Every structure is written in C-alpha cells, then in structure tokens.
Amino acid sequence: MLKPFSDQEIAVGLLAQDSKVLNYLYSEFYPIVLNMIGNNKDEEMAKDIFQDGMIAIYSNLKDGKYIVSKNAKLRTYFLQVCKFKWYDILKSSSYKKTTSLDTDFDYADEIDEDDTFEKVEQQKKIHKLFDQLGEKCKKILKLYYWEKLKMNDIAERLSMKTDSVKNGKYRCIQQLKDMAKNSSNLKIIK
C-alpha cells in the first residue's frame, strides 16, 4: 500500500510531476474511475478519462483555477472532473449507448462533500426516474439533450411531426417533474 498524501502534497507533487504522487493517484483514483464508467466495460476509455482528468487537474493547479483548501478536497474535485468527462462522452453523438444511462458507480461511497454529494445524488435520482419513462420519451429526450438535435431533426429521425415532438418533449419533462415531486426533494430543471 502506498503512503497516503495530503491534498497539498498531491498538488505540489503533481506540479513537480513526482512519480510517487503520480503512482499514488493512479493506485487510489483509477479504480474509482474504472468503476464509474461501468465495472470494466471499457478499460481503455477509463484510462483516457483518468489521463484527461490528470491533465485537467495539473492545468488547473498550474493556472491557479484550482487552489487546495479544506472546503474543496482534491479527490472530490478530480472525481467530478472525470465524471463530467464521462458524461460528455455519453452525451456525444458518436457514442452509441445501448444500456441505461445509470451506471453502477456508487457516488455516495466516493464523494463526501455536502454540496457536491447533493448534486450527484440529484443526478443519480434523475437518471433513475429517466429509466422509468416510456421508450418514446427516452428517445425524444436523449436526442434532444444528449445528442443536441433540433426538433425537426428529431421528428425526421422518429418519423413524427415537429409539433408532435415538441409536445412530446414537454409532456415527458412534465412527467419527469411529476415523478420528481413524488421523490424526496428532487428538482428537475428544464
């Protein structure tokens, strides 16, 4: 087991490209990133996300965009960066996702900052609610929010009229909002 480093030691070690710190980060954080993207589904993608996260943290430390403090743990920040990189991949039109949007990653075990934890828990609940929607709603919302298609493009792809897609999107969002009202303190933002 490698010696644990404080956030300050990690920041200094990253900037100095200290191999002990880099090995520590890889041994401690990489398994979490791998788990985040779905239990070994794509190890190469996990490595890419991990490396992108390391580069982002290094750049943000170097540019002063991230400063080590008691209120913002480096571990939490790093995992958030990796999570958003993973979500960007999931949202990209080139990524064809065949399983549900919810991953097997247990955010509660890995992120312990109150504000960040709440946001992650909200997202996790939204994904679970999303999975309860009908197939047509899922398709419309995925095409609109994840693939960023325009209403007329969605209509064409689904062999529907544009007005029907607009109404469908509205109804699906309303359905999510209604489901969220029945959940504990969940807010859906349009």
For 146-165, give the secondary structure using H, E and C.
HCCCCHHHHHHHHCCCHHHH
Give residue 105's Cα distance to chain centre: 10
> What tens-digit pLDDT sequence spans the chain (190 residues)?
567 888 899 899 889 988 898 899 888 888 888 888 775 457 888 888 889 889 888 888 888 888 888 777 888 888 888 888 888 777 765 555 434 444 444 444 444 444 455 555 566 677 778 888 889 998 898 888 777 888 999 999 999 998 999 999 889 888 888 887 876 545 554 4
Backbone angles phi, psi at 120, to 5 degrees: -65, -45
Q: CB neighbours of 91 closer than 8 A, spacing ≥ 6?
A: 145, 146, 147, 148
Do the domain assignments include residue 89? Answer: yes
DSSP structure string for 157-188: HHT--HHHHHHHHHHHHHHHHHHHHTSSS---
Question: Can you name the residues that pair with 69 across neighbouring β-strands?
Answer: 72
Do the domain assignments include residue 71? Answer: yes
Do the domain assignments include residue 109? Answer: no
Task: Scan for tokens 């359905």, then name that residue.
Answer: 175
Do the domain assignments include residue 53? Answer: yes
Do the domain assignments include residue 155? Answer: no
Tally of domains in the chain: 1
Alpha helices in the chain (DSSP H): 7-16, 19-36, 43-63, 74-91, 107-110, 114-132, 135-141, 151-158, 162-181
Q: Which two tokens stand for residue 9?
A: 């030691």
CATH number of the domain that 28 lies in? Answer: 1.10.1740
Do the domain assignments include residue 119? Answer: no
Do the domain assignments include residue 25? Answer: yes
Q: 23 lies in which domain range?
A: 1-96
